Amino acid sequence: MARSTFVYVTYIRTTPEKLWSALTEPEFMKEYWFGMHGESQWTAGSPWKLVASDGKVAGDGEIVESDPPKRLVFRWQDRTKPEMEAEGPSLCTMELVPEPTVVKLSITHTIECESSKLIVAVGGGWPKVLANLKTFLETGTAAIARPAPR
């Protein structure tokens, strides 16, 4: 079956536990995900939703696999645009692999649909979110949310 996949990898100087918290705790998420945050119990089978800063649900689904602080898989149904909603749910896999001084975070986002609009849309967002997450965990401040330097 035709599918669209994006893969993102970043290496962050942190611990798997801190990274897991940053990926699952709403207060952390808002810092680097442009005000958005996820809400879930983060256990297999529990519902998941992505909430924008204005309170609107941008996406929802359920947790497929959860193995803290190593692996999180969830189904992601877009709720922002009818044409993306029509594509059905996508699958997002987050893998955390500790290396001597860093943690490798891989995000694989897949949808069973050729040239998916959702994948292109999230494809523009993931690099910014991940670069922000890295800066946030390594320095305590998100790069893009930071005021302009003098």
Which CB sits closer to other proteins, 5 or 53?
Answer: 5
Beta bridge pairs of residue 108: 7, 93
Which CB sits closer to other proteins, 41 or 138?
Answer: 138
Q: Minimum distance from CB of 33 to other proteins (Å)?
A: 14
Which of 135, 133, 124, 145 shows the shortest CA–CA distance to 28?
133
The structure tokens 């969830």 sit at 74
Q: Minimum distance from CB of 147 to other proteins (Å)?
A: 9
Sign of CA dihedral 11, 141, 34, 65: positive
Q: What angle do CA 34, 112, 134 make, to 5 degrees?
A: 30
Residue ranges that bind other proteins, judged by CB under 8 A: 5-11, 13, 99-100, 102, 104, 106, 108, 126-128, 130-131, 134-135, 143-144, 148-150
Which CB sits closer to other proteins, 58 or 102?
Answer: 102
